[in-house]
Amino acid sequence: MKLIVKWLLSAAALLAVAYLYQGVVVSSFTAALIAAFVIGLFNMVLRPVLVLLTLPVTVITLGLFLFVINALMFWAAASVLDGFYVRGFGAALLGSLIYSVFGIVIDSAIERLFFKK
């Protein structure tokens, strides 16, 4: 149940990103659901490999390179999907930052909702 709620809220967050920032376009809620799934899949599979491969750069930049990796995951998801479009790397960077902020809020809300004491 927790996973489904997080997926639905992530799709809503993606629609909110598209609403707030014109560099990201999402055509429908269905496209947002698919895009949220693919972004989550890329973050689960590809992101750890990229973080490991770019560890020296990440250390030198004091972790700021992780923003670039997040943007690449966001941009890669947009490049393989119809109905989800990002207008370039700069748009992917800003869109992924906004999406990450929404993700933090979603994680906090889910934590409070499902793990009340």
In this structure, what is the dihedral angle of CA atoms 23, 86, 27, 33, given to the nearest 10 degrees? -120
pTM for the model = 0.90
For 60, residues 6+ apart whose C-beta sits below 8 A from its C-beta are none
pLDDT of the residue at 101: 96
Instruction: Work out the average pLDDT over 28-37.
Output: 96
Angle between helices 29-53 and 2-20 (to 10 degrees): 100
- pLDDT of residue 103 exceeding 70: yes
Instruction: Work out the average pLDDT over 75-101.
Output: 95
| pLDDT bucket at 117, cuts 50 / 70 / 90 | low
Exposure string of 49-88, with b = 16+ CB inside 10 Å and e = fewer, is ebeeebeeebeeeeeebbebbbbbbbbbbbeebeebbbee
Amino acid identity of residue 77, one-letter, is A
Residue 42 burial (10 A CB sphere; 0-12, 13-18, 19+) = middle
Total length of the chain? 117
Domain residue ranges in the chain: 2-114
pLDDT of the residue at 1: 83
